[in-house]
Amino acid sequence: MKLGLQVSNFTWPDAPDGIGPTFARVAREADEAGMASLWVMDHFFQISTIGPPEKEMLEGYAALSFAAGVTSRITLGTLVTGITYRLPGLLLKTVTTLDVLSGGRAWLGIGAAWNEEEHRGLGVSYPGTSERFERLEETLRLAHQMWSDDDRPFEGKHYRLERPLNHPQAIASPHPRILIGGGGEKKTLRLVAQYADACNIFDMGPAKVQAKYDVIRGHCEDVGRDYDDIEKTVLTRLDFANESDDQMVERFGRLGEIGTDHVILGNAAAAGFEKPGYLDRVPGLLRQLNASG
């Protein structure tokens, strides 16, 4: 099993002056600890489950580019980019740039978007649910086209690109990995089966996560996709300060038993992974997980 880290809260005591140095240290410590991935939310306002909208929030791809410059191995992605935030051709160019400059470490984390408050606040269009999913599928189709170095015109219901040229091409082969976030069974998980390299499900407990995996398996059968080709990731919130290593290994082990490949640790609390040495336990956790199978 792989472990990743999502940094979702930048309300640190020395903000805003210390955000850059602190985030750089967190990224380096995650990299050096052997974590597989580093993620930031792609939001413009803080989300209500973590804090009020006025709390500090960084733009996702600028933050990841900064993290790329201070790390060497860890993969980098948003969990996840809302389809409404950027025009799809520019989004794919952005992810390609991150991939090239990081040496092939970028993910395209993407979803249908949901936070209407930040859309209205910053003047970003927020179409209805059906249209957002249509736009999401068109972007996924375009990603596969642009990352295959095919610059023929793209014609969709919502997007028209006369020449989706993408040079330089990404370093990751065959392209930056595509992760779709969300658990909607009719649309989101169908798109996972059709277009994605990975899914991301919130940690609802092993039984409910397993039910989502079963839906993905069914969609894979429908479209002729090998279910095992899709990396199963779970985003979990944990109290790293108050859970023992054995408790965490047990929790992650239960997720592993149902086929989870990659657990991403979220720091909902303001005081968390930004503390020096907070990730020192990660190598031990990884050793225990590997030893337990």
Model confidence at 217: pLDDT above 70: yes
Check residue 271 and give its pLDDT: 54
Check residue 293 and give its pLDDT: 60
The answer to which of 64-68, 253-257, 289-293 has the lowest mean pLDDT is: 289-293
Between strands 177-181 and 107-111, the pairing is parallel
Check residue 276 and give its pLDDT: 75
Q: How many domains does the chain have?
A: 1
Q: Interior CA angle at 24 toward 21 and 28, to 5°?
A: 140
Between strands 75-78 and 177-181, the pairing is unpaired
pLDDT digits (tens, 9 = 90+) for 243-283: 788 888 898 999 999 999 999 998 655 556 667 777 888 88
pLDDT digits (tens, 9 = 90+) for 17-51: 999 999 999 999 999 999 999 999 999 999 988 88
pLDDT band at 83 (very low <50, low <70, confident <90, very high): very high
Mean pLDDT of the chain: 93
Check residue 273 and give its pLDDT: 66
- Per-residue pLDDT, averaged over 71-76, amounts to 98
- Per-residue pLDDT, averaged over 186-202, amounts to 97
pLDDT digits (tens, 9 = 90+) for 102-129: 999 999 999 999 999 999 999 999 999 9
What is the CB-side half-sphere exposure of residue 241 using CA atoms within 13 A?
A: 10
Contacts of 164 (CB under 8 A, 6+ apart): 89, 92, 142, 145, 146, 150, 151, 152, 153, 154
Q: How far apart are CA 71 and CA 5, in angstroms?
A: 14
- Per-residue pLDDT, averaged over 228-236, amounts to 97
Residue 160's beta-bridge partner residues? Answer: 155
| CATH classification at residue 56 | 3.20.20.30
- Per-residue pLDDT, averaged over 56-74, amounts to 97
The 3-class SS string of the chain reads CEEEEEECCCCCCCCCCCHHHHHHHHHHHHHHCCCCEEEECCCCCCCCCCCCCCCCCCCHHHHHHHHHHCCCCCEEEECCEECCCCCHHHHHHHHHHHHHHHCCCEEEEEECCCCHHHHHHHCCCCCCHHHHHHHHHHHHHHHHHHCCCCCCCEECCCCEECCCCCCCCCCCCCCCEEEEECCCCCCHHHHHHHHCCEEEEECCCHHHHHHHHHHHHHHHHHHCCCHHHCEEEEEEECCCCCCCHHHHHHHHHHHHHCCCCEEEEECCCCCCCCCCCCCCCHHHHHHHHHHHC
Domain limits at 202? 2-292
Residue 154's beta-bridge partner residues? Answer: 161
Prediction pTM value: 0.94
Contacts of 244 (CB under 8 A, 6+ apart): none
Check residue 5 and give its pLDDT: 93
